[in-house]
Chain A
Amino acid sequence: MNDRFAFTIDGVEVQGRPGQTIMQAADEAGIYIPRLCSHKELAPHGSCRVCTVLVNGRPQTACTQPAGPGIIVENSSEALLAIRCNLIEMLFIEGNHFCMFCEKSGNCELQALAYRFGIMAPKYPYLFPTRELDASHPDIFIDRNRCILCGRCVRASRDLDGKNVFQFVGRGPRKRIAVNAKTALADTDAARADKAVSACPVGAILRKRVGYGIPIGQRMYDAAPIGSDIEAARAHPHK
């Protein structure tokens, strides 16, 4: 196509098209930019900041920042890795993430990023906040202990399911995910097959009666790090 333009990510030349974000162009080029609140089927949110890259030296979220001709993107420097590690570690200490009994373990994107970054333990003290669980619905439940406020369920329910079941309430440390009903999830029109459920990157919104469905060793991130699928698509690997 004629309207393609070139820019670089970590010195590697990448082709972009008008209207593409840096992340979309990177994905096509087989370069993985770590992300958490971003989801292929959803409008970008730019809230988790994990995909922060330097664009011509300035920090920008790759999921929201348009690609442009000639821009110089830095994605995998030590400094950016340190920022991303800090973000992931803060998400771990800010909630109650008991991986050992979480049904999402092995398929969890938060955990997978920690694995990819080689985080052995967070450097910050654990907060152990009090968070509410909502198991009122017959088919799905919300465990806010694991919620990282990425807003994927909000966007998926609104834009894909057309239901508007979830929304944020409160601010700062009291910010939490709420449901569009007087009392509980059971009073909403949320359903088992909703995209809002499958869009959750962690174990905060799960289907009931699934349990530990996949044996250890065969789960999504057991053998290869998150982002490997994108990197595998890269035609000409560069060091």
Chain B
Amino acid sequence: MAKPKVATTSLAGCFGCHMSILDIDDRILKLIELVDFDKSPVNDIKKFTGRCLVGLIEGGCCNEENVRVLQDFRAHCDILISVGDCAIMGGIPAMRNTIPLKECLDEAYLNGPTVYNPTKTIPNDEEIPLLLNRVYPAHEVVTIDYFLPGCPPPADTIWEALTALLSGKPLTLPYQLIKYD
């Protein structure tokens, strides 16, 4: 039987949650025995090669590309897991949600105290994904099956969750592993 496949992505996140995945230490060797990695920054596979059992989502959606990637994950993965506070509630990027987008861009590219921008242009190339009006948690864009809170979630949380799902057991985390920070 072919090993189940796991895909991961970092949307509007800082890659800290991916660091936490790597932080399972030598258990990563066990994980490789249990699963194959499909699309993921870990192996740099850019496109889905087929159906995946689990998709791990780091980060919320701050631009249109994030939305497309997230929808792609939903289409290819049986189980989608929001990993970390950014996927769950927007996290640090969502601090801009109480400020109009134009004000954010003006501050970043025109008015900020360290800005050098003689042409007074705000980047608007079609190669650059369009920013959304605000940062959206993953579950406000697609259906998410499980949530692993934390900033980042501890490696043990990710390990417990993955091994439970792979062995078909219900996902119940001990009190000490549910943390929002």
Given A120-B146, A121-B149, A225-B175, does the pair A102, B181 have CB atoms closer than 8 Å? yes
Contact A115 B181 (CB under 8 A): no
Interface of B is mostly: mixed
Q: Is B148 an interface residue (CB 8 A)?
A: yes
A216 to B88: give the CA distance in the assembly, Å. 21
Q: Is A128 an interface residue (CB 8 A)?
A: yes
Within 8 A of A (CB), among B131-181: 134, 137, 139-140, 144, 146-149, 151, 173, 175-176, 178-181
B152 nearest in chain A by CB position: A100
Q: Is B117 an interface residue (CB 8 A)?
A: no
CB distance from A42 to the nearest CB of B (A): 26
Chain A proximity mask over B52-93: 1 for CB below 8 Å, otherwise 0: 000000000000000000000000000000100100111110
A131 to B173: give the CA distance in the assembly, Å. 34
CB distance from B62 to the nearest CB of A (A): 13
Give chain B residues whose Cβ lies under 8 Å from the Cβ of A48.
Answer: none
Out of B91, B134, B148, name the residue touching A98 (CB < 8 Å): B91
Q: Is A170 an interface residue (CB 8 A)?
A: no
CB distance from A231 to the nearest CB of B (A): 13
A122 nearest in chain B by CB position: B89
CB distance from B29 to the nearest CB of A (A): 27
B residues contacting A by CB (< 8 A) are 82, 85, 88-92, 94-95, 97-98, 134, 137, 139-140, 144, 146-149, 151, 173, 175-176, 178-181
A residues contacting B by CB (< 8 A) are 92, 96-102, 105-106, 111, 114-116, 118, 120-122, 125-126, 128-131, 216, 222-225
